[in-house]
A and B are shown apart, each in its own frame.
Chain A
Amino acid sequence: MRFTGVRHRYHPDGPAIVDGVDWAIPRGAIHCLLGRSGCGKTTLLKLAAGLLAPQEGSVRLGGAQLSGPGARIGFVFQAPTLLDWLSVRDNVLLPLSLKRRPDAADHAAADRLLALVGLGELAQRRPASLSGGQQSRVALARALVAEPELLLLDEPFAALDALTREELQDDLLALCAARGTTALFVTHDIAEAVYLGDRVAVMAAGRLVHDAPIALPRPRRAALRYEPGFAAACRALRAAMDETSAGQRSAV
């Protein structure tokens, strides 16, 4: 996944929401994008998904120009956005059932994914009877069922309690590692970005203002959160974010 000089504005005369972003994500890597609300990170993610076309610059996936949303990209939204009238399994199968009638292999793939996120028993239930964390897990399984090369996640765990969020982070790492999926994870939670990312970029006012690798070993486990290296990485990112917001305030 490669962004080159990407610039986008919603109104021709309005400000550029994404303002000259250059970024490359190597295959199989997990990159996190950190930023405060309204800094343009959701717009950048929509550009990466092909939901928006950039006015300047290019977004390429595996060398080819991105021309629109497709099966190569999985997307996890801020809310689970499950369909209330379908069973959990049918929700997971939705990306496939919109293309063709799912066959036995597809059903098996959906059940395997549900088992991986610990919901194997609940495949026949309706989403409304699941907890928030379980709904997020279903959304994650749905994004992966078509075996995308790239997974885009837009603050998917922001509404969950801290413990559930950490479980889901572990689930996500395991799923991506098992399939070699490339991921771009947008969040405003510094610890989440450090725990998940091979690399973390900080975005402010449409630009990437800071970009650093996270030199923590993989596979990462919960104990990592209490190690000095983890805290140091969080502190460094916090300093970078404080610097940009101080800069913005003085500019105003």
Chain B
Amino acid sequence: MRRSLPSLALLVALLLLWETWVRLAAVPTLILPPPSAVLATLWSEIASGRLWPHLAVTASEMLLGLGLGALIGLASGIALAKSPALDRLLRPYVLASQLVPKLALGPLFIIWFGFGMTPTVAITALICFFPLMETALTGLREVDPARRELFRMLGATRPQTLLRLELPAALPTIMAGLRVAVVLSLVGAVVGEFIGGRVGLGASIIAAQSVMDSSLIFALFIVITALGMALYEAVRVLERRVLRRFSKG
């Protein structure tokens, strides 16, 4: 808490500067609303309860997309690490799936999955899949050869080597991939809603834009950032627990 004090002080200073400048220079509220107006809008959204359904939908899309993408990413990372032939066969396609602009797939996903949460969850999963696959692949490949030889010497089977040597050794790398995926899942959920959502924080931004309500857009930025930070911190806690169990010391 004491260490985050300077950051907080900087935030307050920046907000004051912003407020003063907007008032003195008489900037139109449509271009840049003052922080006081943004906070007032945020409070009224919270107090009226209008915010909660949107927050719940976006958070669910994030979590579902992240969970689905992380599971598939981890599984394919393990499969590609274990089978060099499979890696050679599928690598170009996996790479292509990441290089195609995923948000441009949005309209197609709406045709496939209809409006609602499903297309956004699919986009989020597609985005989250990649960092988990890459880190699982790298982590499993980089297991110390001497320890592999030890397991061979002890007559360990391939599943035993995977579960008792390779996955525990790769876990710190995989957890770093999960942290990246959390950040990307928020982008996936919000931007997915831009394209096809009717409910959710991203959809609310589009709605606010259509009525030129800049201070509502800013208020939604704050909510989205807070949601991302909360999930990121949750993953950090999970990571610390897992690493305490599976690392040195």
| A residues with CB within 8 A of B | 49, 51, 68-71, 73, 75, 77-79, 81, 83-85, 94-95, 98-99, 126-129
Contacts and interface: CB of A to CB of B under 8 A. Distances in A.
Contacts of B100: none
B153 A128 contact: no
A71 B152 CA distance: 12
B174 to A, nearest CB: 14
A49 B153 contact: yes
B150 A98 contact: no
B246 A95 contact: no
Interface stretch (B132-140, B154-162, B191-199, B220-228): B154-162
Contacts of A95: 154
A69 B153 contact: yes
Contacts of B246: 85
B210 interface: no
Interface in B158-203: 160, 164-165, 168
Contacts of B155: 68-71, 98-99
A81 B152 contact: no
Interface of B: 144, 146-147, 149-156, 160, 164-165, 168, 245-249
B249 A81 contact: no
Contacts of A85: 168, 245-248
Contacts, number: 50
B154 A128 contact: no
A135 to B, nearest CB: 12
Given A51-B152, A71-B155, A98-B160, A84 B146 contact: no
Contacts of B249: 126, 128-129
A70 B156 CA distance: 10
Nearest to B144: A81
Contact of B150 (A77, A99, A129): A77
B183 to A, nearest CB: 27
A77 B248 contact: no
Contact of A81 (B150, B164, B248): B150
Nearest to A128: B248
Contacts of A98: 151, 154-156, 160, 164
Contacts of A68: 155
B153 A83 contact: no
A4 to B, nearest CB: 23
A233 B146 CA distance: 34
